[in-house]
Structure 1
Amino acid sequence: MIRTTRRTFTISMLALLAACGKPQQPSKFQRYSGPPITQVQVNKGQRRMHLFSGSTPVRSYDISLGNQPVGHKQFSGDGKTPEGVYYIDRFNPRSAFHLSVGISYPNPNDRAFAEQYGMDPGGDIFIHGRGPQGNNLFPRQRDWTAGCIAVTDEEIQEIYAMLMPGTPVVIYP
């Protein structure tokens, strides 16, 4: 009986020590306790995105754009990043590109324009990380998305924590 108890105790202790030695994966979800982000501004020409609280810039990021970066997105598959005023409308914690934050493209004007040509305006425009797909398929390309705005995986973790639904996103040429 004592031998069984001692053996059980020894095995339990070894299992506990083994579990303590495993490095934990850091969470991709962060907390943000700074000033509220009231607007996102994207300057496509400079490949920069700025997060503002009121009129004060809080953070800025280098970005990648759609694989056809010049001009406003008009149709599905055109590879362009939209231009204009949109809003943060969703969050995707299971994105193929690490994390992603949805932008409300297409707006009613975008839909009407595409409709008059009998075309689909497209959709699923996000601010996202690179994730394994971006790193593996487009390791050195500057503009590689299908129309989204991409940052590093570490940066999207920060951005994901900072933004709230309804935050305006102004995208300049």
Structure 2
Amino acid sequence: MIKKGIALLFVLTLLSFITTLSFKEAQLKYPRVKKAYSDRFKCVDQLLKTSDIKTLDVYLRAFKLEEQLEVWGKNKNDSTYKLITSYPFCFSSGNLGPKRRRGDYQIPEGFYQIDRFNPESKFHLSLGINYPNQSDKIKSKHSNLGGDIFIHGSCYSIGCIPITDDWIEELYIFAVEAINNGQLAIPVHIFPSHLDTETYENIIKDSTFTINNSKFWKNLKEGYDYFEAHQKLPRIDISEEGNYIFN
């Protein structure tokens, strides 16, 4: 009976220790994350100091045509974001236009969030994107929309955004620091390209990409324009037709 009591006490103590770990401490239990912090944290810390950010909220914005992933950040109590850095895609699959089914090779387009951290990814480290979102589900006519879309390391992918092992280590640290500082969700907005007026007009003139996409891109442009004008994120809802509504 005494031995069982000791064993139970040990388990309860262990569970108590596990539940008191911060998100960052829990991530640092993984060797790749620990190594990333050892190798890249000074770079991340310097970028944050240069931007005068101490309590990080992070926002990610990707452009398929330019093959760039931007990292924006702000202090929790600030109202506007600053561009901290950007990373080039190492590889890109598919064409301009949204992802609508499994196996179409497309990188999604739309308004998403990071929904999981994978410290033991096949592609070094990875951050999962919550594709398909409700808009994707409404607008797609297919029964299997696919999934498992990530921003990750390495230099090859089908439908994901690979940015090499070095850059995913930095990005992963940004994301861990943001969640550890209390950010509840990390937005990821993926656009076909920059949607300033000139670039937008050029892509909708190209019949290769415009088929069935011009109205969709016009909708995305509303969200793009809001952030460009205010450096703030709009509140985003989704209509019954699957269109994004920005408030």
Superposed pair shares fold, TM > 0.5: yes
Structure 1 stretch 159-168 or stretch 27-36: which is displaced more? Answer: 27-36
1:106 CA displacement: 0.6
Q: 2:99 matched to 1:73?
A: yes
1:39 CA displacement: 1.0
1:26 CA displacement: 9.6
Provide the secondary structure at the position in 2 that maps to 1:51. strand
Q: 2:131 matched to 1:105?
A: yes
* Preserved contact between residue 64 and residue 190 of structure 2 (Cα < 8 Å): yes
CA pair 107-28 structure 1, distance change in 2 beyond 3 A: same
Structure 1 stretch 145-154 or stretch 157-166: which is displaced more? Answer: 157-166
CA pair 107-65 structure 1, distance change in 2 beyond 3 A: farther
1:118 CA displacement: 4.0
1:66 CA displacement: 4.5
- Give the aligned partner of residue 39 of structure 1: 59
Gaps of 5+ in 1: 1-24, 135-143
Distance 1:145 1:100 in 2: 12
Q: 2:62 matched to 1:55?
A: no
TM-score w.r.t. length of structure 2: 0.50
CA pair 147-66 structure 1, distance change in 2 beyond 3 A: farther
Q: 2:187 matched to 1:168?
A: yes
1:59 CA displacement: 1.1
Provide the secondary structure at the position in 1 that maps to 2:168. helix
Structure 1 stretch 95-104 or stretch 26-35: which is displaced more? Answer: 26-35
Provide the secondary structure at the position in 2 that maps to 1:120. coil
Provide the secondary structure at the position in 1 that maps to 2:138. helix
1:27 CA displacement: 4.2
Higher helix fraction (1 or 2): 2
Sequence identity percentage: 36
* Preserved contact between residue 37 and residue 51 of structure 1 (Cα < 8 Å): no
Q: 2:147 matched to 1:123?
A: yes
Q: 2:162 matched to 1:150?
A: yes
Gaps of 5+ in 2: 1-31, 74-79, 193-247
Provide the secondary structure at the position in 1 that maps to 2:139. helix
1:119 CA displacement: 2.2
Distance 1:162 1:75 in 2: 31
Q: Tell me the amino acid that sits aligned with residue 161 of structure 1.
A: I
Q: Tell me the amino acid that sits aligned with residue 52 of structure 1.
A: W
Q: 2:35 matched to 1:28?
A: yes
- Give the aligned partner of residue 95 of structure 1: 121
TM-score w.r.t. length of structure 1: 0.70
Provide the secondary structure at the position in 2 that maps to 1:112. helix
Structure 1 stretch 58-67 or stretch 42-51: which is displaced more? Answer: 58-67
Distance 2:97 2:189 in 1: 15
Distance 1:74 1:102 in 2: 18
Aligned-residue CA RMSD in angstroms?
2.1
Distance 1:111 1:66 in 2: 23
* Preserved contact between residue 65 and residue 147 of structure 1 (Cα < 8 Å): no
Greater C-alpha radius of gyration: 1
Provide the secondary structure at the position in 1 that maps to 2:105. coil
Q: 2:94 matched to 1:84?
A: no
Structure 1 stretch 52-61 or stretch 147-156: which is displaced more? Answer: 52-61
